[in-house]
Amino acid sequence: MKLETRQVTKRYGSFTALNGASFQTGADARVVALLGPSGGGKSTLLRVLGGLLLPESGEVCVDDNPLPKEPEAALLALRRNGFVFQGYNLFPHLSALQNIVLPLRVVHGLGEYEANARAIELLTRLGLAEHRNKRPAELSGGQQQRAAIARALAPKPGLLLLDEPTSALDPVMTGEVLDVVRELAESGQQIVLATHEISFARRVADWVVFLAQGRVEESCPVEQFFEQPQSALAREYLQGLSRYR
């Protein structure tokens, strides 16, 4: 997977979330970690890469193919990706199984039997088979996040985008979710994740994009970022983290 942005700018009112963000990954990048301080633009860049947000200016390319800039065309591109939000975004009145089946039928046009079979396959794979008839309120935080990941994987996306997948989870639940992400990466799923889990990013990612103040300060292989960061902001960031290890 090759990702590239060229002078991408995204604003929310008077706030500039991305300010001419430009980067390019290696063509063989499989898991890309978006790192950086809070408010630096990670989540916004993730949404732009997935086609969920359209930037005011600039260009985004995935495998050398520019993402469309028209809302309807961007929506079609978005459907080829799987997105997992910080807050899970599961339908509270539906069971875990129904949360996966519904978009497969309504959005992707699968028949009832095929959609149910795919949902059960993923819930089993992610250790949720016995919880498939529970609603989100009956699931733990880690189980809800795994159900959200199953829903994102259901249409077999080319790219899985994860926005702080362990946000607000306790250490045990965090471990559950990170194990799932690691297993997906090892199985060959292409992933872009915005995360504060630095040690996990170092183990799983093969490319790092480091953002601060809406700009990409560094884009390089994971080993280079952690061993020989080139930008002063990246060095300061890593030095700050090392104080608490």
Q: What is the CATH classification number for the domain harbouring 225?
A: 3.40.50.300
What is each CA distance from 9 to 24, 43, 56, 61, 215, in whole angstroms? 16, 14, 6, 15, 9
3-state secondary structure at position 175? helix
Strands annotated E in 95-187: 159-163
Q: Do residues 24 and 139 both lie within one domain?
A: no
Q: Do residues 67 and 167 both lie within one domain?
A: yes
Q: Do residues 59 and 165 both lie within one domain?
A: yes
Which pTM does this prediction carry? 0.91
pLDDT attached to residue 94: 96
Q: Do residues 54 and 128 both lie within one domain?
A: no
Q: Do residues 131 and 223 both lie within one domain?
A: no
Torsion of CA 109, 111, 117, 120, to 10 degrees: 60
Q: Do residues 51 and 34 both lie within one domain?
A: yes
pLDDT attached to residue 244: 56
User: What range does the domain containing 220 cover?
Assistant: 1-80+159-245
Q: Do residues 23 and 75 both lie within one domain?
A: yes
Number of domains in the chain: 2
Which regions in the chain score pLDDT beneath 50? none
Q: Do residues 115 and 186 both lie within one domain?
A: no
